[in-house]
């Protein structure tokens, strides 16, 4: 049985042996699905909202996107099925990798993928004007546009939303390659870069975008070459024509001193004995 654990941790707690966890709680104890994965969380004007995909097992057609909201009293709502892969002709595909994002002065956005596999899925988008209580109909993104593939996009100073995304092929070995998508009108129209590397020399997916200050961004992603993270392209925040696409190894947070006291909100799925889950849910 899997449960969803929510915690708020100061950055310093990640680097010190003494506990500094501000809050740890289960969003739920027992859900209507045996497996969940790819949790996402965001802060809205009305409170925290979290989402994940859940079903009998990853890749199975019954896997849906579920959403829970934190209420003013601190309790989390029962998860609600918010998106699924049912098609107009009755066929059903699994859903994948929800990403919640709250733009400035705009509705909450929920990006997710639909399709049999990462090499064949497509992107869809739902929006909520009331902090995740109700949602629009799913909007299928244009062909070749997937939205943020797993990690949050960022909103630039001019309001554009920049999404880190990636491609996985069916070839042997699979080519994992990073690229970026941008929308200037909250998902109505899109532009994208080309793949920024061949996907084999360095195989990388699921970029997470960091602000470096000024007009510079950096993306850090998951690779197959080594257990440590890789630094992916550093680029102008204006997304100009030139990209520095050389990859390099970076030190993990455990190796890098951090002096910031910013707070990290973490979501994790953990497997518990059924008895433990029942005792927590009471």
Q: What is the pLDDT of residues 46-103, one digit of tens each?
A: 999 999 999 999 999 999 999 999 999 999 999 999 999 999 999 999 999 999 999 9
b/e string for 155-168 if b means 16 or more Cβ within 10 A? ebeeebbbbbbbbb
Q: Give yes or no for a contact between 44 and 131, defined as CB atoms under 8 angstroms apart.
A: yes
Both tokens of 277, joined, read 């889950």
Burial of 273 (C-beta count, 10 Å sphere; 0-12/13-18/19+)? exposed
- Residues 256, 244: Cα–Cα separation, whole Å: 23
Residue 270 predicted with pLDDT over 80: no
Domain boundaries, the chain: 155-250
Both tokens of 183, joined, read 């929308």
- The whole-chain average pLDDT of the chain stands at 81
Cross-strand bridge partners of residue 205? 222
CB count within 10 Å of CB 204 equals 25
CB count within 10 Å of CB 29 equals 16
Q: Which residues contact 117 (CB under 8 A, 6 or more apart)?
A: 59
Q: Which residues contact 146 (CB under 8 A, 6 or more apart)?
A: 113, 121, 122, 123, 163, 165, 181
Band (17; pLDDT cuts 50, 70, 90): low
Q: Which residues contact 241 (CB under 8 A, 6 or more apart)?
A: none
β-strands 176-183, 191-192 pairing: antiparallel
- Residues 113, 210: Cα–Cα separation, whole Å: 23
Helix, strand, coil fractions of the chain, as percent rounded to 5: 5, 45, 50
Q: What is the pLDDT of residues 173-225, one digit of tens each?
A: 999 999 999 999 999 999 999 998 899 988 889 999 999 888 888 888 888 87
Q: What is the pLDDT of residues 114-139, one digit of tens each?
A: 999 999 999 999 999 999 999 999 99
Q: What pLDDT is recorded for position 221?
A: 87
Residue with tokens 């006291």: 261
């Amino acid at each position: 049985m899997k449960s969803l654990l929510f915690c708020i941790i100061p950055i310093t707690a990640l680097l010190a042996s003494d506990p500094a966890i501000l809050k740890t709680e289960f969003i739920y104890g027992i859900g209507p699905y045996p497996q969940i994965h790819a949790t996402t969380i965001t802060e809205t004007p009305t409170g925290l909202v979290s989402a994940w995909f859940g079903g009998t097992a990853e890749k199975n057609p019954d896997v849906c996107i579920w959403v829970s909201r934190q209420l003013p009293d601190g309790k989390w709502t029962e998860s609600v099925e918010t998106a699924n892969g049912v098609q107009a002709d009755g066929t059903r595909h699994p859903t994948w990798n929800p990403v919640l994002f709250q733009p400035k002065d705009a509705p909450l956005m929920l990006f997710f993928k639909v399709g049999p596999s990462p090499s064949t899925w497509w992107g869809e988008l739902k929006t909520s004007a009331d902090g995740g209580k109700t949602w629009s109909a799913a909007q299928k993104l244009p062909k070749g546009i997937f939205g943020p593939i797993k990690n949050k996009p960022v909103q630039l100073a001019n309001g554009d939303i920049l999404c880190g995304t990636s491609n996985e092929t069916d070839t042997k070995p699979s080519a994992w390659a990073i690229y970026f998508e941008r929308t200037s009108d909250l998902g109505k129209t899109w532009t994208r870069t080309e793949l920024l590397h061949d996907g084999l020399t360095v195989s990388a997916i699921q970029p997470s975008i960091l602000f470096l200050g000024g007009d510079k961004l950096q993306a850090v992603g998951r690779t197959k070459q080594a257990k440590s993270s890789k630094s992916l392209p550093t680029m102008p925040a204006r997304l100009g024509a030139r990209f520095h696409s050389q990859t390099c190894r970076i030190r993990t947070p455990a190796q890098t001193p951090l002096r910031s006291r910013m707070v990290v909100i973490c979501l994790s799925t953990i497997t518990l004995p059924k008895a433990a889950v029942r005792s927590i849910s009471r």
